[in-house]
Structure 1
Amino acid sequence: MPLSHTVLKSLLGAWALSACSAAETEAVEDHLTGCAPCAEEALRLRNAVSLLHEDRDLDLDPMLRFRVLDNCLKRRPARIPVPAWAAPYDAETARLDALLRDIGESEWHAPVRLKWYEDDALVRRKSTVAGVIGHLLAVDGLVSGALGLADPLGPDVPELTPTERTESFWKALDRPPNRTLRAPWRDQSHALVQTVSVAGPGAADLTVTYGEFALPLQDALLERAFECWVHAEDIANAVAYPYDPPSGPHLRGMIDLAARLLPGALAHRRRSGRAAPPRRLVAAGSPGRSLHLEVEGVGGGHWYIALDSPAALGSPDHTVAQVAMDGVEFCRLVAGHISPQEAAAGQDGDREAIHDVLTTAASLSRL
């Protein structure tokens, strides 16, 4: 007679200490493959037991939880919630996959015009629907590598920028990109979501290196969600498919990420002589000036962008300029789909600061 949930839960402590009989061990481990709460409790108990050994490193591997649960999930999937910081990526990849499922064979070869800002000029690149999916597959591989999953470019790939990864992936194909890329892209996105869902909170701070810069995993997945949406719109436009922006909370997260990246990107532009030098309002060590970014519409809010130090937090007390614009339009500026001149619906204050922030926002874009 099968053991009840209550009985199996009571055996978890003994199971963690390897004190169950063979039959009890088999019953408990079979139960863990389908009961996420018990699987989590079993992991906590096993971790507690491991801490009793003084020769063990007390800094637990953030991927330990993933390895334990992944072994169970290979036998039978259980319902495990996606962490909130991975939800935008999960949603945007699912929406794009639904679009791809609806298009015909010939539409995979429809021309797609990619565009972004580089050296303060609009850059255009011709591709196809399938080529764009290859691009997403290649760059998402940066996150796969950080999580120890297979890289679509193969093993022992040197450190490359997203653009270099894309070019390398396209060149390695033995035929023009086609609809066969949908399956590996979809499988990789599913693997990423599943992995971060069972890896535990420690995974959020793993580092994803983009070649020229790095982001913590939770920001990297948000950045990948943003690019998935942007390129899904590119594809939708190419095949005349209706496509909506992300949900309000997800769009707000994407705007917040861009706002957090702006001070560092502005400092980088200054070092190359493309932005005005910083100006202190008071004594050295002060937070310096801020620009008030007011984003309207879905996902909107207020952000204060530090103008004079990449490490400082913007302050409403030292605001010298204000820019008001729609949230979707701001994201299109960050994606390089519209120019800084087209972007701002309302501007007030220091014109130089406004110009520097808007051009810096456009400079965040890339292939």
Structure 2
Amino acid sequence: MTDDHEAVRDLLAAWAFGALEPADERTVPAHLAECESCAAQAQRLRETVRLLDGPPLNILVRSADGVLSLALRTRPAARVAAHAAPYAAAVAGLKALLPELEGRWTTPVVHDWDVHATVAHLLAADEHLAGRLGVASRVPASRIAEGTGWEEAWERRTAEVIAHEHGRTPEETVADWAAQAGELLGTAEARDAELAARAVMLMGLRLPVADHFLVRAFEAWIHTDDIGRALGIAVPPPPQEHLGQLVRLAVRILGLALGPTAPPVLFSVTGGEEWVLGSEDEPVAAELALDPVDFCLLVGGRHTPKTVPRGATGDAAAVRNVLERAASLAWL
């Protein structure tokens, strides 16, 4: 190993997880002892590894009939603020699947992506928020022209990163994804709700940084579920508290997308809250109830307006409008 910043940076994730190759076990610590910037980054990563081992613990269990599922056990004392806790848990969930991915990286998952490409997509997706919070990119700089519409830029950047990562090993892609996620969770904004209250524009949405952490949690969980389905492993939904945070964010975005003139619909999630979506100046035209997981899967593009289970009464067109607008929010 050459003793420079780039070579060491490529090994910091392995160092944080205690997984250095024998040849690097002396050279990396020696460099960290002399380089303040690398040492600081390494310490942030190691602290985040401890964090990811502290909140909800995800483990794989096998049922009596041989079916694998991802089980969730709750641990106390997460070291991030409430807005970042769902992302920390979603990252931990995907990490729990990693032992099952060996030898199965080319399994088709979603769109035209295999397992390797799906993790590469998460690496690309997280870099938008990471860059805004001062986390250095772990992939080559984008070649997309400034001013490109966010949807086109989103698709092209994912394609760029997937192409780049397919030239590397899946283990290298996972290490960079985990390191970037760790640095995101190590930022001041992940730990301080006041700092996370400032709004930034990402993916066509101007939201507080706190909400962008929830968006990252949403996407990490959806794609972990995608991978689980592809591998025949049942992935549980987020813990109830985290699921409620995701639902409330999705409802706020859906309300903005519907606007103030849509026929008003009383929308509720099973066993939870209810909201009036659409016009506030007209009587409610219909009522719509969805399971919270089904609602998230609809917004995430994994259910369609026709297939999502629902309870509905009143104006069918008003209900259809809400369902179709919810589905239109999907970009995952």
Deviation at 1:327, TM superposition (A): 1.1
- Cα-to-partner distance string for 1:134-156 (whole Å, 9 max, x where unaligned): 00110100110110111234457
Deviation at 1:71, TM superposition (A): 9.1
Aligned counterparts of 2:86 and 2:328: Cα–Cα separation in 1: 23
1:213 to 1:190, Cα distance in 2 relative to 1, 3 A: same
Letter in 2 for 1:365: A
Work out whether residues 334 and 363 of structure 1, in 8 Å CA contact, stay in contact via their aligned partners in 2: yes
Which moves more between the two structures, 103-112 or 232-241?
103-112
Work out whether residues 117 and 166 of structure 2, in 8 Å CA contact, stay in contact via their aligned partners in 1: no
Report the secondary structure of 1:354's partner residue: helix
Deviation at 1:76, TM superposition (A): 9.2
The equivalent of 2:131 in structure 1 is 145
Aligned counterparts of 2:207 and 2:185: Cα–Cα separation in 1: 17
Query: Would you say how many aligned residue pairs link Structure 1 and Structure 2?
Result: 260
Report the secondary structure of 2:186's partner residue: helix
Letter in 2 for 1:363: S
Of 105, 108, 124, 2:105 maps to 108
The equivalent of 1:87 in structure 2 is 85
Aligned counterparts of 1:75 and 1:139: Cα–Cα separation in 2: 19
Letter in 2 for 1:290: P
Aligned counterparts of 1:292 and 1:162: Cα–Cα separation in 2: 33
> Any residues of structure 2 matched to 1:51-66 within 5 Å, and which?
none
Deviation at 1:189, TM superposition (A): 0.8
Aligned counterparts of 1:76 and 1:362: Cα–Cα separation in 2: 39
Aligned counterparts of 2:170 and 2:45: Cα–Cα separation in 1: 33
The equivalent of 2:114 in structure 1 is 128
1:260 equivalenced with 2:232 (yes/no): no
The equivalent of 2:316 in structure 1 is 351
> Any residues of structure 2 matched to 1:234-273 within 5 Å, and which?
234-267=226-259
Aligned counterparts of 2:123 and 2:42: Cα–Cα separation in 1: 27
Letter in 1 for 2:310: A
1:320 to 1:193, Cα distance in 2 relative to 1, 3 A: same
1:303 equivalenced with 2:286 (yes/no): no
- Indicate the percent of aligned positions where both proteins have the same amino acid: 33
Q: Which has the larger radius of gyration?
A: 1
Deviation at 1:353, TM superposition (A): 1.5
Deviation at 1:263, TM superposition (A): 2.4
1:337 equivalenced with 2:329 (yes/no): no
Of 253, 258, 261, 1:278 maps to 261
1:264 to 1:172, Cα distance in 2 relative to 1, 3 A: same
1:134 to 1:291, Cα distance in 2 relative to 1, 3 A: same
Gaps of at least 5 residues in structure 2 are 1-36, 52-77
Which moves more between the two structures, 155-164 or 242-251?
155-164
Letter in 2 for 1:356: N
1:108 to 1:295, Cα distance in 2 relative to 1, 3 A: same
Work out whether residues 335 and 366 of structure 1, in 8 Å CA contact, stay in contact via their aligned partners in 2: yes
Deviation at 1:88, TM superposition (A): 0.3
Deviation at 1:294, TM superposition (A): 1.5
Deviation at 1:199, TM superposition (A): 5.9
Aligned counterparts of 2:157 and 2:307: Cα–Cα separation in 1: 31
Deviation at 1:266, TM superposition (A): 2.4
Aligned counterparts of 1:304 and 1:260: Cα–Cα separation in 2: 11
Deviation at 1:321, TM superposition (A): 1.2
Deviation at 1:96, TM superposition (A): 0.9
Which moves more between the two structures, 215-224 or 166-175?
166-175
Report the secondary structure of 1:109's partner residue: coil
1:136 to 1:169, Cα distance in 2 relative to 1, 3 A: same
The equivalent of 1:165 in structure 2 is 157
Letter in 2 for 1:345: R
The equivalent of 1:225 in structure 2 is 217
Work out whether residues 293 and 302 of structure 1, in 8 Å CA contact, stay in contact via their aligned partners in 2: yes
- Cα-to-partner distance string for 1:15-67 (whole Å, 9 max, x where unaligned): xxxxxxxxxxxxxxxxxxxxxxxxxxxxxxxxxxxxxxxxxxxxxxxxxxxx9
Letter in 2 for 1:151: S
- Cα-to-partner distance string for 1:232-274 (whole Å, 9 max, x where unaligned): 011001111221111111111111111100122224xxxxxxx
> Any residues of structure 2 matched to 1:43-54 within 5 Å, and which?
none
1:167 to 1:346, Cα distance in 2 relative to 1, 3 A: same
Deviation at 1:330, TM superposition (A): 1.0
1:157 to 1:91, Cα distance in 2 relative to 1, 3 A: farther
Aligned counterparts of 1:323 and 1:356: Cα–Cα separation in 2: 11
The equivalent of 1:290 in structure 2 is 264
Gaps of at least 5 residues in structure 1 are 1-66, 115-124, 268-276, 280-288, 309-313
Work out whether residues 117 and 165 of structure 2, in 8 Å CA contact, stay in contact via their aligned partners in 1: no
Letter in 1 for 2:274: H
Letter in 2 for 1:97: K
Letter in 1 for 2:172: T
Deviation at 1:172, TM superposition (A): 3.2
Deviation at 1:171, TM superposition (A): 3.0
Deviation at 1:202, TM superposition (A): 3.3
